[in-house]
Amino acid sequence: MGERKTVILSDSTCDLSAEIVKARNIKISPLTVVFGDEKHLDGVDVTPDDVYDYYKKTKSLAKTTATNMAEHEDFITENVPEGKEAVYFNISSEMSTTFNNARLAAEDMDNVHVIDSRNLSTGIGLLVLHACDLADEGKSAKEIYDEINELTAYVDASFVVETLEYLHKGGRCSSIAALGANLLKLRPMIQVKDGKMGVAKKYRGKMSEVFKQYVDEKLNDENKFIGKRIFITHSGNCDEIALELKDMVLKAYPDKEVLITRAGCTVSCHCGPGTLGVLGIRENKI
């Protein structure tokens, strides 16, 4: 396999591990995480555990801010050598202005194709790795861009959330809804559809059983998983159950690569610890 002619770029919300990023030669642009007046770079000098510690100490949520045009320009210039093309993935335009800022930054760069992933977390990661596969095959940036844009609607990205505290504090869940759900021990499943997050279902009970029920339903969906890989992505406190769930996924899909990853600061800021999802590309649109 020769050197790629297309550089694969992504913002840090793709939630790919450092090992995967290094192995597949992906260039990552970190979003900014804000603790009060302090600014940090997602995955560079701040981790999700720092986000949780900050919340425990202050009862204030850390915030994430979109990458601005100048930051995008610097990132592209630093990582796309002269004579190379690039495909640049960003979190859904429905969730952040990061994509739009990247699009504007690359407007005069004919060699850079900016993708609105219509997704978050390893929903983006799945697309990024598929782009790496295509780049390794020698596909041009335009060919990769066209294929990925067709594929975004087939990505099944969902998470089950243990605590509504973070969603409530972030203004994504009303006090009454949060109180009612917590009293009833309801665990919402957040599904990404048409680039937006919404509650698709509510489970009830102990998290280990809820996760198994959720994964079982995902694996038995008539809309089968296709592609090379499936992600189990969680936001902490789920290492043991993630391994059990991996066995479930491999029994249903023995031909797939099943990857366990830890969500980065963006998902963690909004959903809190104990959140877990199974993410893959489906045969039919979501």
**Residue 278 shares a structural domain with residue 141:** no
* pLDDT tens digits, 79-101: 999 999 999 999 999 999 999 99
Instruction: Dump pLDDT digits (tens) for 143-195.
Output: 999 999 999 999 999 999 887 777 656 555 554 454 455 555 778 888 999 99
Predicted pLDDT at 208: 93
Query: What integer best gives the mean pLDDT of the chain?
Result: 92
How far are the Cα atoms of 108, 168, 211 from residue 159, in angstroms, in the given order?
A: 37, 16, 10
The total domain count for the chain is 2
What's the domain range around 191? 155-282
Same domain for 217 and 80, yes or no, is: no
Residue 176 has a pLDDT of 45
Question: Residues 116, 214: one domain?
Answer: no
Structural tokens at position 97: 């202005």
Q: Range with the lowest mean pLDDT among 174-178, 245-249, 274-278?
A: 174-178
> Where are any strands of DSSP class E within the chain?
6-11, 26-29, 32-35, 38-41, 63-65, 85-90, 112-116, 155-156, 158-160, 186-193, 196-204, 225-234, 257-262, 276-282
> pLDDT (tens digit, 9 = 90+) per residue, 32-45?
999 999 999 999 99
In a domain, 1, yes or no: no
**pTM of the full predicted structure?**
0.94
Domain shared by 52 and 40, yes or no: yes
- Outline where 31-121 has alpha helix (H): 48-58, 69-79, 98-105
Query: Are both 17 and 54 inside the same structural domain?
Result: yes
161 and 51 in a common domain: no
Q: What is the CATH number of the domain that holds 14?
A: 3.40.50.10170
d(CA 96, CA 109): 22
Q: Check whether residue 127 and residue 188 sit in a common domain.
A: no
**Do 115 and 237 belong to one domain?**
no
End-to-end CA separation in angstroms for the chain: 34
- Signed CA dihedral, 74, 75, 76, 77: sign only: positive
pLDDT of residue 271: 85
Scored b (16 or more CB within 10 A) or e, 204-223 reads eeebeebbeebbeebbeeee
Report pLDDT for 76: 98
| 176 and 278 both lie in a single domain | yes
Which residues sit opposite 63 in a β-bridge? 34
Return the CATH number at 182.
3.30.1180.10
Indicate if 232 and 245 belong to the same structural domain. yes
* pLDDT tens digits, 185-238: 778 888 999 998 888 888 988 999 999 999 999 999 999 999 999 999 999 989
pLDDT tens column, 56-85? 999 998 998 999 999 999 999 999 999 999
User: What Å distances lie between residue 233 and 17, 81, 242, 257, CA to CA?
Assistant: 10, 32, 8, 14
Domain end position, chosen among 136, 152, 168:
152
Residues 144 and 159 in one domain: no
Q: Are residues 120 and 255 in the same domain?
A: no
| Residue ending a domain, choose from 123, 152, 181 | 152
Is residue 1's pLDDT more than 60?
Answer: no
Residue where one domain finishes, among candidates 107, 133, 152? 152
Residue range 109-152, pLDDT digits in tens: 999 999 999 999 999 999 999 999 999 999 999 999 999 999 99
| Amino acid identity for residue 121 in this structure | S
